[in-house]
Amino acid sequence: EAGVAQSPRYKIIEKRQSVAFWCNPISGHATLYWYQQILGQGPKLLIQFQNNGVVDDSQLPKDRFSAERLKGVDSTLKIQPAKLEDSAVYLCASSLGAGAYEQYFGPGTRLTVT
Amino acid sequence: DAKTTQPPSMDCAEGRAANLPCNHSTISGNEYVYWYRQIHSQGPQYIIHGLKNNETNEMASLIITEDRKSSTLILPHATLRDTAVYYCIVRSAMAGGYQKVTFGTGTKLQVIP
């Protein structure tokens, strides 16, 4: 079974630039999550999708971050414009459903904002 | 959300059992205890979960106290590949039946040869 795929794996941008991350969840998984993990901290949930609808985006900085999951499969997370404090690893995870026990995580995208 | 408290770091000798404690004194009756681990430069990996009873799978055992205010993850024979950050999480329910997982800072387990 293929795991959660993410790209790119690494990205370096200057502040005020834009960046987008892509996630392809495990086939058949209805729920998709985006997390932000700052160095030395645990992952923080940014947004949770159930199919193509948003379940929770309470911790998403909506003035600069946006995410979509148009066909209920792949998802993109965008930052525009980036700030220095956005430097982090962005993790995508998926699960069979919102009530599923296990989330499967991708390898993450490491973003450095200079 | 129920908060969890874990020691920031622990060491364990290779081949010995690693016992990782977690306090979750504000846990509600229908909230599950989950454990994930994160090996360096990888995404977190699910280990085990439980509600009231002790649980065991091929990776680990989970011991939950009777009052459910604390739990212990046991890796019975730690190997060098078990070196990772271990997260104890209480899974809370949101409106609409959705579940929310909130990670803390975890315990960094170092397995020593």
A14-29 pLDDT, tens digit per residue, is 999 999 999 999 999 9
Q: Which of A42, A55, A104 sits opposite B104 (nearest CB)?
A: A42
Please say whether the beta carbons of B47 and B59 come within 8 A.
yes
Read off the tokens for B104.
């803390």
- The one-letter amino acid at A92: C
Interatomic CA distance for residues B54 and B35, integer angstroms: 13
Sequence-distant (≥ 6) Cβ neighbours of residue A20 within 8 angstroms: A76, A77, A78, A79
Of the residues B22, B45, B85, B100, the best mutation for testing chain A's interface (the one with the most A CB atoms within 10 Å of its CB) is B100
Residue A98 predicted with pLDDT over 80: no
Q: Does residue B29 sit at the A interface (CB-CB below 8 Å)?
A: no
Q: Which residues of chain B have pLDDT under 50?
A: none
- The one-letter amino acid at A76: T
Per-residue pLDDT at B93: 73
Interatomic CA distance for residues B99 and A91, integer angstroms: 18
Using only C-alpha atoms, chain B has a radius of gyration, in whole angstroms, of 14
8 Å CB contact of A43 and B44: yes
